[in-house]
Amino acid sequence: MAEVKVSVIVAIYNVGKYLRQCLETIVGQTLREIEIICVNDCSTDDSLEILQGFAGSDERIRVITLPYNSGNAATPRNTGLKEAQGKYLSFLDGDDYFEPTMLEKMYKRAEELDSDVVICDYYDYKADGTIVDRDHYKDRPGVYAYLRQNDSFSAEVCPDRIFYMNSSDGGAWSMLVRRSFSLSFNLSHSLSFNSNYSLDDICYTYCSLALAKRISFVSARLIYYRHTSSGQYSAKSDYLLIGGIDALASIIDVLRKHGVFEDLKECLLNRMLELFRKWIIAPRDVQLFVLGYSELRVKVIQVWGIDKYPEQYFYDKETYYWIKSVCEKTSEDYTYSLLKRIIHRETVLIDKCFGKRIIIYGAGYCGAYWFGKLFGICDIVMWVDMTKKSKFVSSPDEIKSNICYDAVLVAINSSEVFQEVKAYLSRLGVPNDLIIWMPNDYLQKE
């Protein structure tokens, strides 16, 4: 048998709706010398049937069904790790999929630069079917510039930005990892996937970045990451904050064992606090929100004395003010202040749009949110989106027609994408003073 260059480990649970696309993009990879280890976590839909069909027509596919449902992606991934024989490891969830050249490009870069870890960017595949093509590193200016100036790096040479190098919020699916490197830490310090709610891979990812001797970067989006609310494990948003706090403790434990924690402490705390600020509004369950809020104050802020850190310690100044707010407010007060912010923001927008002729730009979640809020309050003369078209949603180019409007509401969360849209609308002839930006992520600004 030819050398296995890459082992692709696929964790699968009730993703029959997406699984064929996932597997087709793996078996169709331009790098042929791969093995595909599919670990079925006792799916109750047609996932196993689909797996068996693919395995019957491609000998590179191995199907493993766990004896019981683990409830997390860690167990399937760890099972796959034990079975893998490839020189490198790639991880994928059964509802995501690859670009055709993904493994070839990542493998080639790893071999050229003798890398323990290779990273790349990805596409966001939204629940409404929209595929967002954007550079996730542009939101991190220091990282963006560094990756384009250096062929390879490690935590030793860039300790102040190492945990920002992964394009996602800690997902292992945007990495290729040398198996011998991964095994060396598994054997001595149990550096494997942690069965930690919906954050089973963040410890593996961040510890891999921290401990790798050489990391390289492929400047391309090579994976489609699907944002879905059913089936795969990523749906457990209620547990993001609680899981993240536990993951932080696990990461610190591993880094301490390897004697690198003090060197990387500032970067790690900054990165995790920024994620906590993002995740604090995720729980839909009030009790889980209160529990997460309490653990944030006690297990993170108090334990590390973060409330005593000066403003210059924080990479993101909004996170500094957010920490102060969390320290000063009970969970009830914090929730109340968020509600006031919602009411104020929506009131401002409604006042701006009331009785006017409005074009809404953006048909994703944010656009649908504001469409529902403004319907009947103003005259929505057009709803446009660059990628998502339907009988209700038109191309932005149609704004150039002789349509009358008073304002264009850009319903997009990313400030970077908004600037691109604003420039695009200007080229279409829309005056800047008629462009309104209204994201719906302002809950994070508290």
Query: Is the predicted pLDDT of residue 179 greater than 50, yes or no?
Result: yes
**Phi/psi at 174 (5° precision):** -100, 20
- Can you tell me the distance from the alpha carbon of 98 to that of 25, in angstroms, rounded to the nearest whole number? 6
Please list, in sequence order, all residues whose beta carbon lies within 8 angstroms of the beta carbon of residue 422, skipping any fewer than 6 positions away.
410, 432, 435, 437
Least confident of 90-99, 113-122, 234-243: 234-243
CB 66 within 8 A of CB 41: yes
Vertex 424 angle, CA 418 and 425, to 5°: 90
Q: CA-to-CA distance for 317 and 330, rounded, in angstroms? A: 22
CA–CA dist 344, 333 (Å, integer): 16
What three-state secondary structure class fits 217?
strand
pLDDT tens for 359-368 read 999 887 788 8
Residue 265: other Cβ atoms inside 10 A: 15
Q: DSSP of 76-143, one letter per residue?
A: HHHHHHHH--SSEEEEEETT-EE-TTHHHHHHHHHHHHT-SEEEEEEEEE-TTS-EE---TTTTSHHH
Question: What pLDDT digit, counting tens, does each position of 107-163 carry?
Answer: 999 999 999 999 999 998 877 677 878 788 877 768 888 888 888 999 999 999 999
Find the mean pLDDT for residues 380-399: 83
Q: Do domains 6-233 and 342-445 have the same CATH topology?
A: no
Q: Which of 358, 438, 367, 361 is nearest to 404 (CA)?
A: 358
Domain boundaries, the chain: 6-233, 236-328, 342-445
Predicted model pTM: 0.80
CATH topology of domain 6-233: Spore Coat Polysaccharide Biosynthesis Protein SpsA; Chain A (3.90.550)
How would DSSP label each residue in 373-426?
HHBTTBEEEEEE-SS---SS-B-GGGGGSS---SEEEE--S-HHHHHHHHHHHH
**The CATH fold of domain 342-445:** Rossmann fold (3.40.50)
Burial class (CB in 10 A: 0-12, 13-18, 19+), 295: middle
Q: What is the percentage of the chain residues whose pLDDT exceeds 90?
A: 54
